[in-house]
Amino acid sequence: MIDAFEFLRWAAALFCGVSLFGVGLTVALGLLAPALTGRRPRRLDTPPVSIVIPIKAHEPGFDQAQASIFEQNYPQFDVTITAAEAESEAVAAARQILAAHPQIAASVVRSTACFAASPKVDNLYQAVEDARYDLIATKDSNIELPPDAMRAAIAAMTDDVGLVTAVTEARGATNLPAAIECALMNQSHARVLYAATALGLGFGLGKLMVFRRRDLHRAGGFHAIAHSVGEDSAMAHALERLGLRTVILGTPIFQNLGARKLGDIYQRQLRWAVIRRHNELPAFLIEPFGLSVCTALAAALAAPLAGWSALAGGALALGLWFALETLLALARGWDVSMNAPAIMIARDAMMLGIWLRAWFTKRVVWAAEKYDAHRERGPLSASASPAAHARKRNDT
């Protein structure tokens, strides 16, 4: 009879094997993703598109991120920048950017909607409803688009596609917390997302979203996404119920990090973890398999089965994990430094704590304000409807 501790060692060995196989598979698929996504069906026309950018704070890189919209290699589009504030540093900067690109039809408008769990949905609501064109693209204010990003996104909007999103790659970290977030966004999240892209899987990723307004209306309109702070995954699920797929672009968009505070990173990642627990529970359940520290602990526990010490087993697992991540990072041109092994361990230790914490809360922090990440779905009362709370806002 196998005793309980022996069973635990074998379970740990299985966990370690599955985890290392998973990271190896995602790296291999990530390397193959550009070739595989290049074979997808593409539309050849370039219909006009309305680009809506919700803004809040004037953070480092803000001007460059918004200017990238006006540098798109796309024949016809207009731009609406929307903010809840009538006047702010971000609004003033947005006006200056628009004034520097008079060749593009663009405006800065004020949003007064107040009906959704997400302040971003409130900010988007009227601008999307008022947009000139049915084809809509939304972009977060901290995202820089390569010149061909819009052309690639619209090309992916075939008849069976309801939502096009993109993987965000981080760059420009200037302190240790930013380096941790950079490794999290690239070697961790982007690695898995590129693997999903290679397999033809799609997820709502809110940094860039392209969709048809008529499809959103058919799916229930803003009511279908108002219940969740994770409006991106909520939209993907709503459109999926219409039989429309979500597609992730094979080419990245970018976020320049600069300097970061560890507390801000923790709160941001906790918010997204809580959203995943509510909106993507199967994926959330297996997240510990994607954390190097969990695999190292499992390897340390299982090591005596192979006649190794716990220290040797854990170190070997961490070394193999780091080698696989670094292979993909070098292939994609991501930042890798001498501190990378320590950064990987700190990143995954933090994410393990966040994963555990996400089971016990739905309160999240966004822009220094606390929100419930999820509301029970159901009909909105008359007083809570978009029409009741979102009067037409005036151009600012």
- Give residue 365's pLDDT band: very low, low, confident or very high (50, 70, 90): confident
Q: What is the pLDDT of residue 367?
A: 64
Amino acid occupying residue 52:
V
pLDDT single digits (tens) 28-45:
999 999 888 888 889 999
pLDDT single digits (tens) 153-181:
999 999 999 999 999 999 999 999 999 99
Residue 349 has pLDDT above 70, yes or no: yes
**Residues in contact with 210: Cβ distance below 8 Å, sequence separation at least 6, in sequence order:** 49, 135, 136, 137, 153, 154, 156, 157, 163, 164, 165
Q: With CA atoms as reference, report the closest residue to 224 among 245, 240, 244.
A: 240
Residue 1 has pLDDT above 90, yes or no: no
Residue bearing the bigger pLDDT, 99 or 363: 99
Q: What is the pLDDT of residue 372?
A: 66
Where are any strands of DSSP class E within the chain?
Answer: 49-54, 77-83, 106-110, 135-139, 161-165, 168-173, 208-212, 245-248, 253-258, 363-366, 369-372
Q: What is the pLDDT of residue 354?
A: 95
State the Cα–Cα distance between residues 11 and 14, nearest whole angstrom.
Answer: 5
Q: What is the pLDDT of residue 371?
A: 63
Q: Report the range of poorest mean pLDDT among 17-21, 44-48, 377-381.
A: 377-381
Architecture category of domain 41-261 in CATH: Alpha-Beta Complex (3.90)
Average pLDDT over residues 345-350: 96
Q: Where exactly are the structural domains of the chain?
A: 4-31+282-364, 41-261
Q: Judge whether 58 and 88 are in contact, CB under 8 Å.
A: yes
DSSP for 21-47, written as a single string: HHHHHHHHHHHHHHHHHTTS-------
State the Cα–Cα distance between residues 299 and 9, nearest whole angstrom.
Answer: 9
